[in-house]
Structure 1
Amino acid sequence: MNLRLKRAKELAGYAVQLTRDEGLGTMMARGAGFVKRRFFGKKARYLPAKKVLEAQRVEMAGKTLEDCGLPTISVLTPLYNTPENYLREFLDSFVDQTAPNGELCLADASDAAHSRVGEIVREYQAKNQHIGYKKIENKGIAANTNAAAALASGEYLALADHDDILAPHALYAMGRAILDLRAQGKPDGFVYSDEALFNKSIQRPLVAHFKPDYAPDYLLCCNYICHLAVFRRALYEEVGGERPECDGSQDHDLFLRLIEKVGGAAHLPQVLYYWRVHAGSTSGGTDAKPYVAKAAKKALADHLTRTGRVGTVTDGLFPSTYRVLWKIEGDPKVSILIPNKDHTDDLEKCLHSIWSKTEWDNYEVIVIENNSTDPATFAYYEEARKRYEGLKVVTYPEKGFNFSGINNFGRKAASGDYLLLLNNDVEVRNGDWLTELLRQCAHPGGAAICGAMLYYPDETLQHAGVVTGLGGYAGHSHKYKQAGGSGYLFRAATVQDFSAVTGACLLVKASVWDEVGGLDEKFAVAFNDVDFCLRVRDAGYRVAWTPYARLTHYESKSRGGDEKDPAKAARFASEQQRLYAIHGKEKILDDPYYNPSLTRDREDFSESDDLRKLKEGSLTVRWRE
């Protein structure tokens, strides 16, 4: 099916559902807003509305850093031969903040030919007494940042580059976020925001980086946090500030060390920082600073050492991405559960790929026979057991198809430390697929569940993780994208934290399966994997996805059966509502690993056409361990 046509049909389906749930008037108003935002609302689209900024200024009118009620944030910025227009724009963005809770600490390592840098700063110091300045010898970005930190008196620190721009509400929003965390009894030691890229003016941003809430596996693959990060000055001093030996990836290294102390991080999903794109900037491309990779791998390796975990840090699939080859603890056995009803051609392709390609040798395969009607199927089982050593076939005793019941039955025959749910219409592509899934789970601090990269036969993506709330319920990350791309912010090319992964290929610790009671058999066909993963996540475990375990999924792109069959459509609708009833609609629509400013209408991580909450400045801080 044509991709645009498919997306149009999905959007139309969403409109129909919205009409049913909230009425025609709501749907028409939402549609009119969609058109307005889509075609007429691009200017300053990530900035709060003028009335919001003005309300902040009115609230803070006449107040000072000392009595404004917000924690003081000292912004650390090393200067080096900064072009005058860039410097003035940056200084203006600090001076024009809506709240007075900021202190700017500038360490100037410019050479003698750029004395104008210091002159401009002194000009601004006459306007704002909370701009500190020191001329220093250039010893590299980390040492220069530490020199700026020596000027700081704030309870919190933030990092900003000399050629970028702070959003006008950056310090107000971060100050409020810290107070909100305190009110919730959550750690307030490390907070980060979203950011945007721009060329000339923040009124015309190029694109935003809408980030997930704290995602530890993702952070080991790239520094997705970047700007704006705010953290306690006492923690910065406790960890020794930035390390010169990690110059080029000094912020990534610092964030890892700070988060080790805090035990997690808080995310404020507002665009508080504008990153200028120009030659020589890291925002302009990874080739600008080729020494970054070496520094990043050191930062990551040191992090593993400090946290007592064992793995080898290697380059990732794209520049500025990395991969941890975790050391698998012991020799865990994997029980591969494959439900099957007839379709022996599919099953043979699946089994042959497992036995011919899988490098991890401690596994068993259990085919769960489910009401096959073709006598040739049973003859195939007998023949397959002769060719595939150790193959087990167990017969599900109930009638009808119930994915959850079938796998729960298969679990009874499994003896592995891990269970692998696997569809019969998948084919293994790489020999270390099972090893890679185990790498993400079978080590201290590993995930409880890991999913794989699944491709359609036409080399488009079928599954790169599950995002709850897409289409109102759940959808597959980057579905239909061409294979080989990096995805949004490398999210189709790095090990990721997700709320769920598909049951078409899902590895889970057997003990965790048993702890949460396996699959819910009232989800007979749809959402059983989503529900299971959410229950595991809510029990305090992590769900991971890896692009390094690759399989082809021969599922049709356009089955369409459930919509055309009234009984199947009713069952699907019932399972949709059950997902809401168990987990809550708002929780389903608010996936912590998917930003609220990204669309729920498509699976491509495109920007939402509804950024009203950004304009209102109403998105609030979210803490995760």
Structure 2
Amino acid sequence: MRIRKKRSLLNQAAGGDGLRRVVRKAYGVFRREGLAGIKTRIAWLRAGAPGTVDPRRYGEWVRCFDQIDDATRAVIRERVANFENPPRISVVMPVYNPNPQWLAQAIESIRAQLYPHWELCIADDVSTDPAIRPLLDRHASADARIKVAFREKNGHISAASNTALGLATGAWVALFDHDDVLPEHALYCVADAIQRNPEIRMIYSDEDKIDESGKRREPYFKCDWNPDLFLSQNMFSHLGVFQKDLLDEVGGFREGYEGSQDYDLALRCAERAGGGAIHHIPRVLYHWRVHAESTASGTDAKPYAVVAGERALNDHLDRTGIRGTAEFELNGYRVRYALPDPAPLVSLIIPTRNEPELVRECIKSIVDKTTYRNFEIIVVDSGSGDPATLGSIASLEHDEVVRVLRDDRPFNFSAWCNSAIEASNGDIVGLIDNGIEVITPGWLSEMVSIALQPGVGAVGAKVLYPNDTVQHAGFALGLLGMAGRVHHHLPRGSFGYFGRASLRCTVSAVSAACMIVRKSVYRDTAGLNEKDTSMAFSDVDFCIRVREAGYRNVWTPYAELYHHESATRRDDSDLAMQARFDKEVQYMRTRWGSLLRDDPFYSPNLTFDEENFGLAWPPRVGALV
């Protein structure tokens, strides 16, 4: 997206006040992050969103893994015939002046469903195209399951959706746009999920896009429910299905949120249902039509949707008692959580060995650049032997915020950190590699504000190599056989896979190169595992245990730091160290084997062989029937 287009987006969204709004946002970035922050935003705009799949390769993947044959159709029909109390699914479709050809294709895709227990509830919002009414009448006459209401006054999409919702008699409601297409097995997959999971109240699927000629492209293979990503983008939409009782409880669609009315609805429903009642089907069950007026072509198509999304998110924060504000930034939304006053003391733990200049630069970077000021730094000198080094490290204690702890035990990264944390004074603790250099001054404010949110465990940063490519943006369990680094080596300004390199999200694990966590959470989960993960997988093992304890781990792109590699970590040339490493690998596979095959925050349709969000050949999704 060019800057000119972004300015146009915000200008329209703000209704003539857009230029002032752009200036205010730019000035806010400058105050928080300086000129480097402005340059980063420009780079993001220019970088676009790599990570989308080549259409030809996706076409081949579809032919291999996303086709339904006659034998499968027969098994599906037999299975449906044996359902006890098969749920009726009401497909709700507001209509206003669509391309008649695409409208007909949308309706026919519902009529072609292998699952027969549906009704299509259509509300025409006073379309001015004379071809629309006869087309709808014709289809309603051909199939009694199609209901049509013709509104007398145009009310926009929320009012029309509520009119369509008023026709629904099913126990479940699926949202459907008037120019999109469902594959023939879509409603069967929904009904099957309901049969298998009677506790669920909301269902969403993967999706792709279909162009004006009907060619499929840009599949979005989503992860399971991801509350932090959901506050950054409407990952629920397409195909989104709700329990009808839940929609009644929240009052349906709200007028005044047009363009993001489905996001607002999903936010209110998710608040009431809870994350445990939200189910993801890892299959492409929705083909989103791309054309000039569709939001599938980008936010420029419907700029008012951006402002409506901000309003919906800020309403959500108010309803849930979360202190913060939401704003649209570049390719998604960012919630800025408010810090308490006074801000809590943060203890930053920096293990080091024989690298005085590296740790000095690390400390100088933190002290000079960090806007969050209530912190202490604890340097763990883990066996430095050089007299010059010892003198240099001892001199660090002259800084009032720095303490040095001597720990001469053999190499054990986990033990060094645990002992330092026990000696710390802060309610928040941070593990910092001695090669870290601060980029964004607000990094610690960002991470602490997230760590203080209810239910949050460890918080990770966007850690970059000095060449401005990604080193750490969260781990995916199972990637590269153990735990791989998502978006590894991606250019700093790139959005990544459907924005996930530039949006806050829940992940299975974050790197201890820069990790912030409440001390109470650290103690609840017994800290780093000194016995089994003394060197290589301490952060991943810790984060898995944090998840087991009921917390979620969060990665944020708004805390950026460089990582200059250090020698504090293990030396792979040392045979004894290699043996310890191999032992840790075995521990991880034995202890976490099942989790290393099924990361809920990484799609089974994506590869485990590379760190680039490529397609899985074959996917790890179970058989359709």
TM-score, length-scaled by structure 2: 0.86
Letter in 1 for 2:452: A
Alignment of 1:458-607 (within 5 A): 458-521=467-530, 522-555=532-565, 562=572, 565-583=574-592, 585-607=593-615
User: How far did residue 60 of structure 1 move?
Assistant: 6.4
- Contact 2:570–2:577 (Cα < 8 Å) also in 1: no
Q: Of 278, 301, 314, which aligns to 1:301? A: 314
Match status 1:611 vs 2:623: no
1:16 corresponds in structure 2 to none
Q: Of 163, 169, 179, which aligns to 1:147? A: 163
1:50 corresponds in structure 2 to 69
User: How far did residue 39 of structure 1 move?
Assistant: 9.7
Match status 1:172 vs 2:180: no
- Contact 2:370–2:444 (Cα < 8 Å) also in 1: yes
Q: Matched residues in 1 for 2:219 and 2:71: separation?
A: 20
- Contact 2:123–2:161 (Cα < 8 Å) also in 1: yes
SS in 1 for 2:108: helix
Q: Which moved more, 1:465-474 or 1:68-77?
A: 68-77
Q: Of 178, 196, 200, which aligns to 1:162? A: 178
**Residues 477-496 of structure 1, C-alpha deviations (whole Å, 9 max, x = no match):** 10100111111111111111
Alignment of 1:365-384 (within 5 A): 365-384=377-396
User: How far did residue 582 of structure 1 move?
Assistant: 1.5
Letter in 2 for 1:434: L
1:124 corresponds in structure 2 to 139
Match status 1:241 vs 2:252: yes
Q: Matched residues in 1 for 2:362 and 2:99: separation?
A: 60
Q: Matched residues in 1 for 2:211 and 2:351: separation?
A: 54
- Contact 1:105–1:148 (Cα < 8 Å) also in 2: yes
Q: Matched residues in 2 for 1:561 and 1:436: separation?
A: 33
Alignment of 1:4-153 (within 5 A): 41-44=60-63, 47-51=66-70, 53-59=72-78, 69-112=85-128, 114-136=129-151, 137-153=153-169
- Contact 2:122–2:164 (Cα < 8 Å) also in 1: yes
2:328 corresponds in structure 1 to 315
1:343 corresponds in structure 2 to 355
User: How far did residue 560 of structure 1 move?
Assistant: 11
SS in 2 for 1:241: coil
SS in 2 for 1:178: helix
Match status 1:205 vs 2:224: no
Q: What number of residue pairs does the alignment pair up?
A: 564
Q: Matched residues in 2 for 1:375 and 1:306: separation?
A: 59
- Contact 1:60–1:98 (Cα < 8 Å) also in 2: no
Letter in 1 for 2:238: H
1:324 corresponds in structure 2 to 335
Distance 1:578 1:289, change over 3 A: same
**Residues 188-239 of structure 1, C-alpha deviations (whole Å, 9 max, x = no match):** 211111111121466x421211111111111111112211111111111221
Q: Matched residues in 2 for 1:434 and 1:60: separation?
A: 54
Letter in 2 for 1:300: L
Q: Matched residues in 2 for 1:57 and 1:475: separation?
A: 37
Letter in 2 for 1:578: Y
Q: Of 266, 276, 283, which aligns to 2:296? A: 283
Distance 1:349 1:382, change over 3 A: same
**Residues 323-352 of structure 1, C-alpha deviations (whole Å, 9 max, x = no match):** 111112342111100000011121111010
Taking only aligned residues, the RMSD between alpha carbons, in angstroms, comes to 2.2
Letter in 2 for 1:277: V
Letter in 2 for 1:132: K
Q: Matched residues in 2 for 1:339 and 1:434: separation?
A: 19
Q: Matched residues in 2 for 1:477 and 1:251: separation?
A: 29
Gaps of 5+ in 1: 1-36, 619-625
Letter in 2 for 1:587: L
SS in 2 for 1:544: strand
**Residues 477-536 of structure 1, C-alpha deviations (whole Å, 9 max, x = no match):** 101001111111111111110111001110011011111111101211111100100101
- Contact 2:459–2:517 (Cα < 8 Å) also in 1: yes
- Contact 2:469–2:491 (Cα < 8 Å) also in 1: yes
Distance 1:49 1:572, change over 3 A: farther
Letter in 2 for 1:220: L
Gaps of 5+ in 2: 1-55
SS in 1 for 2:556: strand
Letter in 2 for 1:134: A
Q: Of 400, 405, 430, which aligns to 1:420? A: 430
Q: Of 207, 217, 235, which aligns to 1:224? A: 235
Letter in 2 for 1:427: E
Q: Matched residues in 1 for 2:487 and 2:119: separation?
A: 41
**Residues 400-439 of structure 1, C-alpha deviations (whole Å, 9 max, x = no match):** x111111111112111101100000111112111111011
- Contact 1:53–1:98 (Cα < 8 Å) also in 2: no
**Residues 264-292 of structure 1, C-alpha deviations (whole Å, 9 max, x = no match):** 11111111111111111111111111111
SS in 2 for 1:245: coil
Q: Matched residues in 1 for 2:338 and 2:570: separation?
A: 43
Letter in 1 for 2:421: R
Distance 1:99 1:201, change over 3 A: farther
Q: Matched residues in 2 for 1:238 and 1:245: separation?
A: 19
Task: Give me the identity figure in percent.
Answer: 39
TM-score, length-scaled by structure 1: 0.86
SS in 2 for 1:173: helix
- Contact 1:44–1:205 (Cα < 8 Å) also in 2: no
Q: Matched residues in 2 for 1:292 and 1:439: separation?
A: 27
- Contact 1:97–1:171 (Cα < 8 Å) also in 2: yes
Q: Matched residues in 2 for 1:54 and 1:268: separation?
A: 19
Q: Matched residues in 2 for 1:532 and 1:252: separation?
A: 34
1:266 corresponds in structure 2 to 279
Letter in 2 for 1:130: R
Q: Matched residues in 2 for 1:497 and 1:486: separation?
A: 16
1:410 corresponds in structure 2 to 420
Q: Matched residues in 2 for 1:408 and 1:378: separation?
A: 22
SS in 2 for 1:278: coil
Distance 1:355 1:43, change over 3 A: closer
Q: Matched residues in 2 for 1:385 and 1:408: separation?
A: 20
SS in 2 for 1:222: coil
- Contact 1:56–1:99 (Cα < 8 Å) also in 2: no
User: How far did residue 57 of structure 1 move?
Assistant: 4.9
